[in-house]
Amino acid sequence: MAQDLVDGLLIKARSHLPPPSEPLGKLSKRDRKGVAVIKLKNPPVNSLSLEVLTEFVISLEKLENDKTFRGVIVTSDCPGIFSAGLDLTEMCGKSQAHYAEFWRAVQELWLRLYLSNLVLIAAINGVSPAGGCLISLTCDYRVLADNPKYNIGLNETLLGVVAPSWFKDTLVNTVGHRTAERALQLGLLFPPAEALRVGMVDQVVPEDQVHSTALSVMAQWLAVPDHARQLTKSLMRKPTADRLVKQRDADIQYFLQFVSRDSIQKSLRMYLDKLRQKKG
């Protein structure tokens, strides 16, 4: 029965998008089914560039506005990688205006996801550091594939940067204060069994069952009347989201000041160089 719910929607970098005459949404087809699948597709590692963030927001907005949709499964089209997190090249050697635009887009996606009226289920089929983990944490339920390589966590400190307060809040709301503090200070990336133990994910299943499990879970969440579930979600999440909403511009200014520091630029460049040299 759950299979009947699914339909597809691909989020990818703008350069890979279909031409305007062929819009992302084939809404008439999906109308009947009520659940979309957002597959992140920005190879090689699904980094969250400004374009991907923007496309993600637009797609979510379309789904939110189409009242026939009640749920979204968020997953990846890149084998072994859910998302490598924020695109580090967007935070290195760019102008202040670019940093501001990028950070506003990060905020916007977080707000849209965190407060979404839709049921969001993360089908985590790959490694999921930092911003990738954050996306899954905004969902209502996380199913992680049982592969020892598929680490998940907010590892920002290992890059020499700091997870902002709203990243921290999202984690605290999921795993509790002590686990979050330890995870954030140490930049811990949890393998599946550990992620399950600390509550970072709700279920760990064999890799070939991630999608079907997400579908079954979706059916369970959709069995609850929308209005009651949505109001409850808002009760739980709005106070956290409001803290950012009230100081979005100040948060952007913090980010600008922080990311523009020579020491932070140096840390980010070194981290990127390390990633690039890994192959050589």
Ligand X SMILES: CCCCCCCCCCCCC/C=C/C(=O)SCCNC(=O)CCNC(=O)[C@H](O)C(C)(C)COP(=O)(O)OP(=O)(O)OC[C@H]1O[C@@H](n2cnc3c(N)ncnc32)[C@H](O)[C@@H]1OP(=O)(O)O
Binding site for ligand X (CB under 6 A): 44-45, 47, 81, 84-89, 127, 129-131, 155-156, 159, 161-162, 164, 254-255, 258-259, 272, 275-276, 278-279
Whether 86 is catalytic: yes
CB 65 → ligand X: shortest distance, Å?
28
| Least distance from ligand X to the Cβ atom of residue 32, Å | 36
Is 131 one of the catalytic residues? yes
**Catalytic-residue membership of 147:** no
CA distances from 152 to 136, 217, 243 (A): 9, 20, 25
Give 155 or 203: the residue with its C-beta nearer to ligand X.
155
CB of 244 to ligand X, least distance (A): 12
Which of 131, 132, 153, 187 is labelled catalytic? Answer: 131
Among the listed residues 60, 125, 155, 189, the single catalytic one is 155
Q: What phi-psi label fits residue 223: left (phi over 0), alpha (psi between -120 and 50 degrees) or beta?
A: alpha
Instruction: Output 6 or 145, the one with its CB closest to ligand X.
Output: 145
Q: Is the dihedral of CA 220, 223, 225, 226 positive or negative?
A: positive
The CB-nearest residue to ligand X is 85
Q: Which of 13, 95, 94, 76 is nearest to 49 (CA)?
A: 13
Q: Exposed, middle or buried: residue 60 (CB in 10 Å: 0-12, 13-18, 19+)?
A: buried
Identity of the residue, 219 or 272, whose beta carbon is nearer to ligand X in the bound complex: 272
Of 71, 118, 156, 159, which is the active-site residue? Answer: 156
Q: For residue 42, indicate whether it is catalytic.
A: no
The catalytic residue among 48, 86, 171, 189 is 86
What order do you get walking across the sheet with 203-205 strand by strand?
8-12, 35-41, 71-76, 119-124, 141-145, 203-205
Instruction: Supply the minimum distance, in Å, between the C-beta of residue 275 and ligand X.
Output: 4
CB of 261 to ligand X, least distance (A): 10
* Residues with catalytic roles: 86, 131, 155-156
